[in-house]
Structure 1
Amino acid sequence: MSDLMAAEAISVRNRWDLFRGGSLTGLLLISPTFLYALALLALPILIVFLYSFWTQDYLTIDRTFTLANYVRALTDPIYRDLLGRSLWISLLVSLATVVFSYPIAWYISFHGGRRKGLWLFLVTVPCWTSYLLRVMAWKVILGYQGVLNSGLLSVGIIDQPLTSILYNSNAVLITLVHSWAAFAILPIFVALEKIDRSLVEASRDLGDGAIRSFLRVTLPLSMPGVISAFLIVMIPTVGDYVTPKLVGGKDGVMIASAIESQFGKGNNWPLGAALSVTTMIVVSLTAAFCVLAFRGLVRRIR
């Protein structure tokens, strides 16, 4: 009996030594990445969070704890409207991007054949150029005498150039959808590639048509990619600064412009930090709500 207990103790100790050695090796492997992410991501967010509870008078920072910045960020009609507009535009951009990207990803996955790599390569080609250049290109396209107006005038569809497609929220929407399309196509494509084609064939054999088979099999199984694409587009576009600045005009201003002005000309870093933190919280809650809504949609479809 004592020999069995001793053998068991030795076995447990050996397993513990292996576990401890593996854990130590794993920690050593991930520690540089973890410290790098902590220094470049968590630390700046922490600094911004601390600043949001302080006040500033010209160049003097008062570190007395206060919630005045958050009260102003949530009650001032200007900031509240900008945040609401930014959130609304980002949701529209995300929805439009997913709707336009899904057919492309579906075609590449189901009908791309041996040329899937080529199609994906072509999808990523616009990302080779600078984001700023792509925005400027849309400014030329949507301008009063731009490519779009000139083309519509030449074929007689309109009598005078359109003024509602530039320097407003419409221009911001169009530009952002194009800029983020590739980032939505790729996760949807990956999700579609993971679908077992025999399931689609089985649904067709059981009498489902092409549309019904897509709604009952393909779409629900690809929903993780759709959710990922939606979040990938929505979260960054809320805080987009370049696009509204170049093509938005006064009607397309978003919350990032207000944050930049407080850190810049406004010289009120605590208020800018409070606006940033408020935006992050609102975006996080909205993202969580969207995930729950998509999951509920999948259950209803099934």
Structure 2
Amino acid sequence: MIIIGEKINGTIPVVKEAIEKRDAAYIADRAIKQTTAGANFIDVCASTAPEHEIETLKWLMDVVQDATDTPLSIDSPNPRVIEAVFKYAQKPGVINSISEEGDKCEVLLPLLEGNTWEVVGLTCDNNGIPNDLETKVNITKTMVEKAAKYGITPDRIHIDPCVMALSTDHNALLNFVEEIRTIKALFPQIHVTGAISNISFGLPIRTLINQTAMSYALQAGMDSAVLDPMNLDMMGTIFAANALLGQDKHCRKYSKAYRTGQIGSIKKDLRKP
């Protein structure tokens, strides 16, 4: 499972405050903790005023890269911002993200030519997020074809089918599972990712919905996720599901995660005093 750590994002109030105060120590601590918890990439998203976004995102990148060797996921809804800060990345990571909206593919895909950078692709276009499987699949095909022109193979692409909220669509998870399976059948080497927590928006006990949805998504073939790696319950769900799906020989990864404190907690583990 590829984990894209989500905890350095200006939409989070405490992170927004740290950005405004230029509290590098706070941002660095978040980066280190996500790395220790098992993040494969650290997402950095400024979410600030457009006129300050490039400078702020560069600052975040510098702070995180000084604190940890974990590759970055450079995140902005504006492709020109990503294009401007791309050169400040010290090693290949992930661009988050392209879609069929505007000129995102045309601006960002050339940056990935001739290197090992990866990219998140959202299944949306100028009409927004489609509700039907066919349109999402067609968007995926188009992005894969555009990427191929720059030598970007499917194994470097993380497709996000954009899971919808269960509170507004009672078939949200069933549709998401179908989308994962269909995309993986078409492109077996492609990664399928997403922010699974979107599914529980507006519902009580969101963690229960999120963890259960993650189990179903993993069974369908989801192998990448944007989440909080410090959430021991969610990480526990991922390790347990992978073991139950036969993807963890002799449950070694699950057992190691328990021994190292990557899953479970003293308060919740009844075997501990």
User: Which of the five TM-score ranges fits, normalised by the shorter chain?
Assistant: under 0.3
Which structure: greater helix fraction?
1
Q: TM-score, normalised by structure 1?
A: 0.22
> Which protein, 1 or 2, shows the higher relative CO under an 8 Å CA cutoff with sep ≥ 6?
1
Q: TM-score, normalised by structure 2?
A: 0.23
